Amino acid sequence: MNSYYKVEEWSIVEEQFDPSKQEASESIFSLGNGRMGQRANFEEDYSGDSLQGNYVAGVYYPDKTRVGWWKNGYPEFFAKVLNAPNWIGIGVEVNGIELDLYKLKVIAFRRELNMKHGVLERTFTVEIGKKQQLEVTAQRFLSIADDEIGAIRYSVKPLNFEAEVAFTPYLDGHIRNQDSNYDEFFWDLIDTRAEQGGASLVCETRKSAFRVAFSMKYDLFLGGRLVETEASVIGESGYAGNRVVCRMQVGEEAILYKYAAVVSSLNYEKDALLQAGKQSLERAYQTKYDALLSDHKQSWEEHWSHSDIVIGGDAKAQQAIRFNIFHLNQTYSGKDERLNIGPKGFTGEKYGGSTYWDTEAYLVPFYLSSAPSEVARNLLIYRYKHLDKAIENAQLLGFTGGAALFPMVTMDGRECHNEWEITFEEIHRNGAIAYAIFNYIRYTGDKEYLSEYGLEVLIAISRFWRQRVNWSDVKGKYVMLGVTGPNEYENNVNNNWYTNLLARWTLKYTLEALKYVEEEHPLRYVEIAGKTGFDTATETGRWKDIINNMYFPSCNEKGIFLQQDGYMDKEQYFASDIDPVQRPINQHWSWDRILRSPFIKQADVLQGIYFFEDDYDLETIRRNFDFYEPRTVHESSLSPCIHSILASKIGKKEMAYDMYLRTSRLDLDDYNKEVAEGLHITSMGGTWMSVVYGFGGMRVKNDRLHLDPSLPANWKSLSFKIIFRDNYLKIYINETAVVIENEHGPALTIMLRGEEQHLDENSTLTCHIQHPPS
């Protein structure tokens, strides 16, 4: 574990410059606003190791699939969010010497991500020439108040010498993705323009033909006065900027304000794109930096007002949860139903920036509770709009009759994952998408979603499950063969318990949804039946037979659900038995050895128990947890959060806390030594779940909010805010009391430790609690 960054409750602080950690810090200090994102690359030139990263939401390139052995049904491409042209660049020369922290002696360095206000600031002092010291302060933000705008304040001060300083604010389109399968350049340069005081660049992605326009303007102040010296205009193919030279006295400060607008053809017609960008830029330029920053801070205050979590007595835990919430809020705004959330968000290229089932399982809960319901609704609508493509995906694998298999990895609904054991076998993703519909309706009460969108998706997924199972004469049950569960350290197994569970549950839930829509919206029901070709008489009978006769592996001797057929045939030993120098095993063991081992990458059976915990008594949950957790190596970022929640439920407080720290500080402390590749954005939703669902004990049952809190021993208190239907609630918990404040909304009844508690409109309820023995 790496404790490199200073622990502060509202900030991430780096107090030294270490080139070996530069790429990791570029990930940690990343900024975003839901429309675009930027790694914490330096504005000035840097010749050390760096992963340049500027990303525009929804803009991707279909990188041709690269595999050793092509199989029928493979996708032809892997969709990748592109490293877009660089808008933050400000070249700086001092007395003819290029400002480059990798080449110069760094005397002092501090970088801070202010999470409360969404601002990145970096201050450093370098030695230029013979003991000549230059102080630089760079501050920037991506506006969430105006999500087409980024702004930079860059100041330079020679501390003990006179200097001639040249500033070159620029746009650079000569950018590549490090993860390109064939080392291709993904952009075509369409238009490059430069003029006094500004520049613009228009690029278009190859193959996918997304067009993006970048525009910039700047002001330079010297000693507090606007510099009106004529700049040298630089306009080359794909590179545009201005070069301004000024003479500076000892202690004099020069400040360059750079404004940039980034707009794409997702939101504007291509022939109007450049003009749209210039209009957005002019709006920002006229508003000026301080006012833009004020609006941005105010927007962040609004976000924090209904998503903040306050932990008393544990600064590391406090910093970590805010770090996770901060990145969740700046990655996805919910304004555009065409967008979703990639595992790395706007912080790196790994996983292509594409959508996985992580969204439905780990992110929907956060957005349900921390934002208006339409935000989570748009995540569901995103899948609905890909339904036709999901049906095509299933057809490619031989399924018929309107069956849908949603992709494991996607940008536009087409499958683009190219590992056979994932693409063809990790089909539990379909169940997560169905579960998200249920979870959304359970939380919001928005049953109308079924008739508008949800039922069509459920019918198509149920049709897939019907065809994916087969009857086994030997078992006298329906079985599901050749699958991969959430535990990706098992491939091509038969009867993964979790996948079978989700299949049966989806069929049951779809029958309930059909009944509801037929009774409450009969005209819409007829419309859906006609559109999908659904016939109750010929389809639901088979579904019911599968529901009643699905096979589930178990080990009666141990009283557990068996992860899959044959799991107990493995040599049984624990993760604690592995030599620590061989961890993580996926970096030290052959795949053959991993597949033959009993080790579990992430929650599998326990994921199913977490989803449907009301179906199991506490002792059943405990037996399965005690069996599977010791065999789990937690080498997926999505693993610790589920274990933390279940550990809280069964009274394992210390383990719950340890797992919380692991999930919440996964990136800050770089547990897996891979944060340089980008942050684990989707697991950050799991961090939130481990606090609110785990320690807060929050659930929704029968249209009521339930709380059953259990705090870690070293926490003095826990406070979190949630939006539940029409209510904005603040919940405060300490060792002796739970205080619930109804900040906005009508009166409601809450279940606290199984007892009804009535909360009036605009009122506060205090309940004294007794904790069960540990």
Least Cα distance to 327 among 352, 305, 303, 310 occurs for: 303
CA–CA separation, 40 vs 601, rounded Å?
31
* Contact predicate 365/688, CB 8 Å: yes
The two structure tokens encoding residue 39 = 């790694």
Looking only at Cα atoms, what is the longest distance across the chain? 90
Point out which residues pair with 220 in neighbouring strands.
256
Encoded tokens for 12: 């991430």
Helix or strand or coil: residue 97? strand
**Phi and psi of 28, rounded to 5°?**
-60, -40
DSSP 258: E
- Helix 653-664 × helix 681-689 angle, to 10°: 150
Kindly state the DSSP code that residue 88 receives in the 8-state scheme.
-
Rounded CA separation 102/209 (Å): 37
* Alpha carbon distance 504, 550 (integer Å): 7
Tokens read off for 75:
């996708």
Among the listed residues 488, 490, 674, 677, the single catalytic one is 488
DSSP 3-state of 337: coil
Give the Cα separation of 134 and 128 in Å (integer): 7
User: Following DSSP, what letter does each residue of 566-625 receive, concatenated?
Assistant: TGGGS----GGGS-GGG-SGGGTS-HHHHHHS--BSS-SHHHHHHHTGGGS-HHHHHHHH
How many Cα neighbours within 13 Å face the side chain of 33?
Answer: 24
DSSP 633-659: ---STTHHHHHHHHHHHTT-HHHHHHH
The residue among 745, 747, 753, 647 whose CA lies nearest residue 695 is 647
Distance CA 681, CA 204 (A): 27
Are 110 and 133 a contacting pair, CB within 8 Å? no
DSSP 230-255: PPEEEEETTEEEEEEEEEE-TT--EE
Residues comprising the chain, all counted: 774
Q: How close are the terminal C-alpha atoms of the chain, in Å? A: 29
**Is 488 annotated in the active site?**
yes
Q: Crossing angle, helix 497-520 and helix 522-532, to 10 degrees?
A: 130
Token pair in block for residue 188: 């075509």
Residue 84 · residue 55 · CB < 8 Å: yes
Q: What are the helix (H) ranges across 340-454?
A: 358, 364-370, 373-384, 387-396, 420-423, 428-444, 448-449
Angle at 226 between CA 222 and CA 231, to 5 degrees: 90
Task: Give the 3-state DSSP-derived string for 730-771, with helices as H, strands as E and coil as C.
Answer: EEEEECCEEEEEEEECCCEEEEECCEEEEECCCCEEEEECCC
Q: Is 289 helix (H, G, I), strand (E, B) or coil?
A: helix
Question: CA torsion, points 712, 576, 687, 708, in degrees to nearest 10?
Answer: -40
Q: Which residues are catalytic?
A: 488
